[in-house]
Amino acid sequence: MADFTFDRVVVFQSLQPHEFKSGTELKLYLEGLSEDSSHPIPIELYEFSDLIGFKQQLLVLCNSIELGQHPILHLEMHGLADASGLVLSDNSKITWSDLQPILAELNMASGFNLLVCVATCFGGHSLSMVNPIRPSPCFAIIGPIKSISGPDLLQAFRGFYRILFESLDAKLAFKDLLGSRIVGSGFIGRSSEEWYLYLAKRFLEGYCKNYEAGQELDAADSDKEDLNALGFWGGRDQLNREKYRNFTSQIFNRFFMVDDIPDCAQRFESTRLEAERLGQQFFLTHSEVAAPD
């Protein structure tokens, strides 16, 4: 995991009046941690009931980030039962795909330092909005896999932040939360680097297996359109070394926002080199499938 910077925690809460206010409780806990820390971290809590308030607060947050701040965004609300997004206290909904471009703006403003903690049922499914053909919505994201109670979520994230505040080591805090065992659920989290490499493997291995079986790789229609525009889709004979070079250059630059944040080229260079290594290994092993032009 590359270097990661944060200087405050921003909690977004949208819960019914009668519900357990896990975000409020988390804020109080984090303020106590901050007071005892050698590196005090401001804690902010914002509450809203609808999409207008949610989006307005995200805009305010984006503007503040542009002034040089680097927050962790912590979401305390409900997850949709089909794991496709979030539901606010007035029952309005926002899908992960709708949230992706908004968070990408925040991530860019933060210098590719946005950590998103999704403290909702099925929050780990937010990883579905991290797509290599679009700018990454965050530096890293983490959340529960299944339905989980507010108190259990609060307990788990208390442990996560305690380690993060004490060590300032995001990788160590991630490891602890991913290893936690809560009845009925676990957690899933990935850094943008891990997810980029996972999707590189999925593209290579999945396409190869389906190629040999004479089938098209299963993918969402929107992904097919975007990949086709970059030369990844169409006839099966189009998979070759040149197409994968696009993945480690053009797509890499877009995903890691290199054109807007030039420092990201060096910061994530090891990830690009690893993706190149995966491609070289793949083509050596499947030369009969992916012969060079």
Q: Which domain holds residue 260?
A: 194-285
Q: Are residues 136 and 70 in the same domain?
A: yes
Q: Are residues 216 and 134 in the same domain?
A: no
Axis-axis angle for helices 269-285, 192-212 (nearest 10): 10
pTM (two decimals) = 0.85
Q: Are residues 61 and 46 in the same domain?
A: yes
Distance (Å, whole) CA 123 – CA 147: 9
Asked, for residue 259, whether it belongs to a domain, the answer is yes
Q: Are residues 19 and 158 in the same domain?
A: yes
The pLDDT score that the predictor gives to residue 156 is: 92
Residue the block writes with tokens 């899933």? 188
Longest dimension (CA), the chain: 64
Q: Are residues 128 and 239 in the same domain?
A: no
Q: Are 168 and 178 a contacting pair, CB within 8 Å?
A: no
Distance (Å, whole) CA 34 – CA 39: 7
Q: Are residues 31 and 122 in the same domain?
A: yes
Q: What is the count of structural domains for the chain?
A: 2
* Structural domain ending residue among the three candidates 165, 191, 217: 191
39, exposed or middle or buried, with CB in 10 Å at 0-12, 13-18, 19+? exposed
The pLDDT score that the predictor gives to residue 221 is: 46
Q: How confident is the chain (293 residues) per 10-residue block, as mean pLDDT? A: 83 93 96 86 94 91 82 95 95 94 93 95 91 90 90 92 90 88 77 90 66 43 48 47 82 95 96 93 68 44
Asked, for residue 3, whether it belongs to a domain, the answer is no
